[in-house]
């Protein structure tokens, strides 16, 4: 049986993976949905990308076997950093409609002008956090803006993880991930999947996501 560490996207907590976690647990696996600093009950306005990466590394190091590390959207930044820190702790990486950075990239540098405008508008209240867009789940929390702005430092060790998968969700307008999906689909080191659903795959298509996750076991 496998251990799945599940990292949500911006503004969201581990609750976004509840359906996925239930399905994995029903199959006898261990599912660990993570709520990163500032995205739960306690605010952490000064958290940055390194903060979130280190939290995930701690979770992985506490496990007795390799994990399957999953990141949605912003979570792709976090899983890349965690995988670069301890690639030996990871059996597979799964990016779910997520950013896949190179050394020196930030979410800000990788995303589109549309989402940069969302971040700017969301940060007007205090300059430290980005308020969630109004259409999101009411459980969403203001996201520490430093995690969106900080450039990631990668040595390239994350590429040693033996299995890397990218899932593109193409049922929504304005996705910043279409070109990335196309590029990775031509890379022999990657497996790619395309879902016809909105960006929030864990909530909109949990069964299909779990089917892909189980191919990593």
Summarize pLDDT for 50-85 with one digit per residue, the tens: 999 999 999 999 999 999 999 999 999 999 999 999
pLDDT band (50, 70, 90) for residue 88:
very high
Which positions are catalytic? 73
- Residue 45 is predicted with a pLDDT of 97
Residue 102 main-chain phi, psi, to 5 deg: -100, 170
DSSP state of 181: H
pLDDT band (50, 70, 90) for residue 126:
very high
- Residue 8 is predicted with a pLDDT of 98
Interatomic CA distance for residues 34 and 171, integer angstroms = 26
Interatomic CA distance for residues 27 and 44, integer angstroms = 35
- Residue 154 is predicted with a pLDDT of 98
- Does this model's pTM top 0.95? My answer is yes
Query: Would you state the structure tokens that stand for residue 97, as one six-digit string?
Result: 């409609």
- Residue 96 is predicted with a pLDDT of 98
pLDDT band (50, 70, 90) for residue 107:
very high
Measured distance between the N- and C-terminal CA atoms of the chain, rounded to whole angstroms: 8
3-state secondary structure (DSSP) of residue 16:
helix
The number of beta carbons lying within 10 Å of the beta carbon of residue 105 is 16
At which residue do the structure tokens 């520490």 appear? 144
**Sign for the pseudo-dihedral over CA of 161, 93, 156, 34:** negative
- Residue 1 is predicted with a pLDDT of 93
Interatomic CA distance for residues 98 and 167, integer angstroms = 8
Summarize pLDDT for 176-217 with one digit per residue, the tens: 999 999 999 999 999 999 999 999 999 999 999 999 999 999
3-state secondary structure (DSSP) of residue 170:
coil
The number of residues making up the chain comes to: 217
What strands lie across the sheet with 90-96, from one edge to the other? 30-33, 3-7, 67-72, 90-96, 163-169, 190-195
Interatomic CA distance for residues 131 and 144, integer angstroms = 9
- Residue 147 is predicted with a pLDDT of 98
């Amino acid at each position: 049986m496998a251990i799945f560490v599940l990292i949500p996207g911006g503004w969201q907590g581990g609750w976004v993976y509840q359906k996925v976690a239930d399905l994995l647990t029903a199959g006898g696996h261990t599912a660990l949905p993570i709520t990163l600093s500032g995205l739960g009950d306690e605010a952490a306005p000064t958290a940055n990308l390194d903060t979130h990466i280190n939290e995930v590394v701690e979770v992985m190091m506490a496990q007795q076997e390799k994990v399957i590390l999953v990141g949605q959207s912003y979570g792709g930044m976090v899983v890349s950093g965690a995988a670069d820190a301890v690639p030996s702790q990871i059996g597979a990486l799964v990016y779910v409609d997520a950013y896949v950075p190179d050394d020196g990239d930030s979410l800000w540098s990788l995303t589109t002008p549309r989402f940069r405008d969302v971040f700017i508008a969301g940060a007007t209240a205090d300059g430290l956090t980005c308020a969630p867009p109004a259409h999101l789940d009411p459980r969403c929390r203001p996201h520490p803006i430093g995690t969106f702005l900080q450039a990631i430092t990668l040595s390239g060790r994350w590429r040693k993880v033996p299995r890397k998968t990218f899932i593109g969700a193409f049922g929504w307008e304005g996705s910043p991930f279409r070109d990335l999906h196309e590029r990775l689909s031509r890379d022999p080191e990657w497996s790619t999947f395309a879902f016809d659903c909105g960006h929030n795959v864990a909530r909109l298509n949990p069964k299909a996501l779990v089917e892909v996750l189980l191919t990593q076991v």
